[in-house]
C-alpha cells in the first residue's frame, strides 16, 4: 500500500504491536531512550486519575515489546521515567527477582512520599502491576483518609479485587462523597465480573 493511509490501522493496539515487533531487535537502552519522561498533571475533569501529558508514540508499544523481547525485563528500566509504564511492562515480562525488587522499592517510595501527586501516581502503578502485593498496598491507601483514597478505591474496582470487598464496603460509609461514590462504583464492577 502507498499513500497517506498506508499505516492506518483500525485499532491503536494493532499499530502499537507492529511498532513493538519492528523494535524487538533494538537494544534495550535504545528503546528506553525513545520514552519521554512522564509529565503527570492533576486532571480538571470528573476523573480522579492524574494525566500523563508526555505519552509519546512508543509509550503504548513498550508493554508489547516486553513480551516480545528476550531482554524484556531490561526495558522496565523506564521506571525512572514513568513508574506506571514500568509496572505495565513488568506484567508482560518473564519473572525477574531483580526487576521485582526494583519496582517494589519505587512503588513503596511513591506510596510513602509526602508529595500528594507521587501518591496519586502510585495508585495506577499498583493497578498496572495487578498482583496480590499491589492489591494489599491499594487497600492500605483506600483506608488512609486524605491520601488518594478515591483513586485507590477506583484501582481496586478496576482490578476486580474480590478480596478487597470488606475495605470497599466500609468506604461506602465515608462522609466524603467522592470516596463513597468511588467505593460504590468499585463494588459494582466487582459484582458484574
Amino acid 12: pLDDT: 72
Amino acid 8: pLDDT: 55
Of the candidates 145, 191, 190, the one whose C-alpha atom is nearest the C-alpha of residue 171 is 145
* Mean pLDDT of all residues in 64-72: 89
Amino acid 167: pLDDT: 92
The tens digit of pLDDT for each residue in 109-149 reads: 999 999 989 999 999 999 999 999 999 999 999 998 876 89
Amino acid 9: pLDDT: 57
Residue 86 CB-density burial (10 A; 0-12 exposed, 13-18 middle, 19+ buried): buried
State the Rg of the chain over Cα. 18
Q: Under a CB-based contact definition with an 8 Å cutoff, are residues 152 and 161 in contact?
A: no
- Kindly list the domain boundaries of the chain, sorted by start residue: 10-26+58-130, 141-193
pLDDT surpassing 70 at residue 46: no
Q: Which residue blocks in the chain are alpha helix, DSSP H? A: 12-23, 28-32, 61-68, 83-92, 97-112, 116-129, 132-142, 149-158, 165-171, 177-192
Of the candidates 121, 133, 51, the one whose C-alpha atom is nearest the C-alpha of residue 86 is 121
Amino acid 42: pLDDT: 83
**Grid coordinates 519521554 are at which residue?**
36
pLDDT surpassing 70 at residue 97: yes
Q: Under a CB-based contact definition with an 8 Å cutoff, are residues 64 and 17 in contact?
A: yes
Amino acid 48: pLDDT: 72
**Grid coordinates 478496576 are at which residue?**
158
pLDDT band for position 58 (50/70/90)? confident
Amino acid 10: pLDDT: 61
* Mean pLDDT of all residues in 45-61: 81
Amino acid 3: pLDDT: 47
The tens digit of pLDDT for each residue in 154-178 reads: 999 999 988 999 999 999 998 888 8
- Tell me how many degrees the CA angle 167-169-175 measures, rounded to the nearest 5: 100
pLDDT band for position 1 (50/70/90)? very low
At 41 the three-state DSSP class reads strand
Amino acid at each position: 500500500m502507498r499513500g497517506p493511509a498506508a499505516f492506518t490501522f483500525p485499532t491503536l493496539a494493532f499499530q502499537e504491536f507492529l511498532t513493538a515487533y519492528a523494535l524487538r531487535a533494538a537494544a534495550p537502552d535504545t528503546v528506553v531512550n525513545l520514552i519521554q519522561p512522564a509529565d503527570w498533571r492533576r486532571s480538571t475533569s470528573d476523573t480522579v486519575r492524574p494525566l500523563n501529558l508526555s505519552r509519546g508514540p512508543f509509550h503504548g508499544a513498550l508493554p508489547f515489546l516486553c513480551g516480545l523481547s528476550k531482554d524484556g525485563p531490561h526495558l522496565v528500566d523506564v521506571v525512572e521515567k514513568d513508574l506506571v509504564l514500568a509496572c505495565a511492562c513488568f506484567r508482560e515480562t518473564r519473572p525477574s527477582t531483580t526487576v521485582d525488587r526494583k519496582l517494589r522499592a519505587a512503588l513503596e517510595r511513591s506510596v510513602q512520599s509526602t508529595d500528594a501527586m507521587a501518591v496519586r501516581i502510585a495508585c495506577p502503578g499498583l493497578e498496572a502491576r495487578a498482583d496480590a502485593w499491589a492489591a494489599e498496598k491499594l487497600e492500605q491507601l483506600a483506608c488512609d483518609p486524605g491520601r488518594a483514597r478515591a483513586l485507590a478505591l477506583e484501582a481496586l474496582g478496576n482490578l476486580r479485587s474480590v478480596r478487597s470487598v470488606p475495605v470497599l464496603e466500609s468506604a461506602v460509609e465515608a462522609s466524603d462523597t467522592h470516596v463513597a461514590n468511588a467505593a460504590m462504583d468499585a463494588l459494582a464492577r466487582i459484582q458484574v465480573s
